[in-house]
Structure 1
């Protein structure tokens, strides 16, 4: 049986030449738009479309993320006085940083590994004292835990959003979402041209979690900044909460940050990382993402192989979910398909979905049967790659009615070598897209 939980891999210097070697195990490639310029982003898209044409692409927006500029490598010691400025010391270019800090503020660098207390602010000259020492390198993130923002979207995000859409992104990742209003603003801009993945990494977002998930096409548990924001001790509970609400609302959820962090520099994962991945599979994530492990790590291929192995060995412990809560008759049909497949010993659930919603409804229930999702829209097929257990297949042939649709699906299943009992889930072609009103136990000889 094929792996159900999907793998997302971040492109970077370590992987741009390895795309053909990785494509068979990677479902989605991530391009981080926080780094590089249009030319470098376009080059990544071109490499992916030529080297892994069947893979989907997640374009990740930077949001109002504060980052250290080009400083090379800087060793910071306990009690050391440091200078933040636009052109010397710890270089920070964003004016937002200088507007947000004040004497007494605690600044966290590199996902909280380095802690600095601000003691003096004078325009764009900020001085602080190192409380927790460490090695700081270029482009590392800066967190100001008490910083309040009005919006998680910036003018630069809207510009990069249009760039990502023009290049053909299947998903757009919204960084530092604060409320459902950010998602709605992005929807107005995107107009259905890609799925919106909201990254949960701010304390404010946790307070508005249900509405954010409800408005989004999918969410990401962005554990790096989220852990800094809410405290590491609270992260496990919030991770489970995000996953639970996402499954409740039928939205795909990606787990991200420090999944195999030790493999940035080591050829083997740690025991704790293996257990973390397995527990995430048990909790029901749709996808797991590698970041530094593949973007800049020494062992990108090995990291993907280990992630694939750990997921595969954990998935047989995942149990089908209960039907509650169901929000519509369409949900009830999806639940019945999962139950019917188990009772009839059908190994395949065949879903015909024009919008992708019918496939998502079945996927969220985590059935034991494989989910083959046929869709007439190639863009929908690419987006469904993020969903647990779904194998999306583009179907160019149209159907006039339900009987015609069943005949087409049977023929396509035969071509794929599918035999025996299958459960068919679909919506009447004459009905509006997104509806599910057909459930059929069908035998293919």
Structure 2
């Protein structure tokens, strides 16, 4: 089950892909981690998908990651008389905190935290920015605004507030119930939506503990202002370009994507690039050339993973979409300019012994044209430090922890292997040689670089590099 690429594929499960048969086809096509979107579906639906993925994992004998994506606080307008109103640029409209059957003079916005935080000059974006208004006057029970871009405001449409930091937990009552359910199931990652500030992650971490990895979804401008602290407090980051692209100018999204990928690589945290990557394949069997370039750009940037949303959840061509993404990644990584671009974006060295050992192992493997790097890792950190260097050879991450092996399905270049602890040098060499051959990464006569920590089976002790020659099957 070797993948002939380094970047990983995350695919969202939905009505088009939730059967055990389709999940298997998607995995064989290239999916490394499945995303369960808790904005949709019931707990029963998600439990069935989770069970099917774990059964598939046992069948194929390979770890498979599962990411739970929490809905987060959705801000929406309320109910409008006749279902919708048309507003034109230049006219004045008014939002109120309560009521129903609203009109342009009293559009319900049932979120008191907005009225507490908004200020003149702030903007409200309605229906993914199709309607944009600027606040001109506020009171205790109203927000008056001038329409900048006119259009239709209809019932329950979403509202984005790019310039307003709300006193709002990213975990709603629904999220807390969903999180408890997901942790009970045994998800590997939990994605937190609409992170605004570092404290949001502390709240989630208190509930999750070490039972799952915590993914910060970056989709608010305020998160970009505190990004270093947010990355430090998370286990991985998702560049959620959908809402982020609504709240910041479109032309800034590509640059922000590159910044986030580089910052995560520097911090040794996996980063996922998401949203509309092959969006036309929701209804067509092939993507646009621009979409293929978009996926390739994320790979050239050095992203750990790229993600499919509606394409695999509700589209007409879920398997074809995964196959296309797999082909784009492999073609990009094999391009003659890929290695020079990846090397040029190297974030530099961390001044610690474990980082230095990992970097030295990656460089050594490149110099001697090793078949692979084998990292014995308890927590996954050793493999992540090696991946930070983006070596030219695969990384076999050998761990005794089943949960760690599944989380590694999100890490660039890592082929995770679940194995019992080692205790001696001889055992390390024998196990490395055997795994390299059994997993199809090496053959007799090849060399491999082995990275481990002495004493064995202790996290945080990466301090040893060894080159081994495979001399027997």
Q: TM-score normalised to the size of structure 1?
A: 0.88
1:434 is the counterpart of 2:460: yes
Relative distance call for 1:70 and 1:60 in structure 2 (3 A) is farther
Residue equivalent to 1:177: 195
Q: Name the SS for the 2:462 alignment partner.
A: coil
Contact 2:113 2:167 in 1 (8 A): no
> 1:235-288 CA deviation, whole Å, 9 max, x = no partner?
222111111111111111000112122222333212221111111110100001
Residue equivalent to 1:20: 24
Identify which range, 291-300 or 132-141, moves more after superposition. 132-141
> 1:366-418 CA deviation, whole Å, 9 max, x = no partner?
111111111001110000000011110100x3322333322222233333342
Distance 2:384 2:76 in 1: 36
Distance 2:79 2:68 in 1: 23
Q: How far did 1:88 drift?
A: 5.0
Distance 2:156 2:5 in 1: 34
Residue equivalent to 1:285: 303
> 1:327-372 CA deviation, whole Å, 9 max, x = no partner?
3111111111111112211121111101000000111111111111
Residue equivalent to 1:223: 241
Distance 1:51 1:82 in 2: 53
Task: List gaps (5 residues or longer) in structure 2.
Answer: none
Contact 2:274 2:308 in 1 (8 A): yes
Q: How far did 1:137 drift?
A: 8.5
Question: 1:296-315 residue pairs with structure 2 within 5 A?
Answer: 296-315=314-333
Contact 1:402 1:429 in 2 (8 A): no
Identify which range, 319-328 or 201-210, moves more after superposition. 319-328
Contact 2:162 2:220 in 1 (8 A): no
Distance 2:262 2:272 in 1: 12
Relative distance call for 1:351 and 1:129 in structure 2 (3 A) is same
Contact 1:353 1:426 in 2 (8 A): yes
Question: 1:159-178 residue pairs with structure 2 within 5 A?
Answer: 159-178=177-196
Aligned residues: 443
* Equivalent position to 2:68, from 50, 59, 68: 59
1:43 is the counterpart of 2:48: yes
Q: Name the SS for the 1:149 alignment partner.
A: coil
Q: What is the root-mean-square deviation of aligned Cα atoms in Å?
A: 3.2
Q: How far did 1:27 drift?
A: 0.7
Distance 2:41 2:110 in 1: 16
Contact 2:73 2:172 in 1 (8 A): no
Contact 1:197 1:217 in 2 (8 A): yes
Q: How far did 1:184 drift?
A: 2.5
Contact 2:266 2:347 in 1 (8 A): no
Distance 1:236 1:258 in 2: 13
Contact 1:338 1:367 in 2 (8 A): yes
Higher alpha-carbon Rg: 2
Identify which range, 53-62 or 188-197, moves more after superposition. 53-62
1:318 is the counterpart of 2:338: yes
Task: List gaps (5 residues or longer) in structure 1.
Answer: none
Identify which range, 50-59 or 267-276, moves more after superposition. 50-59
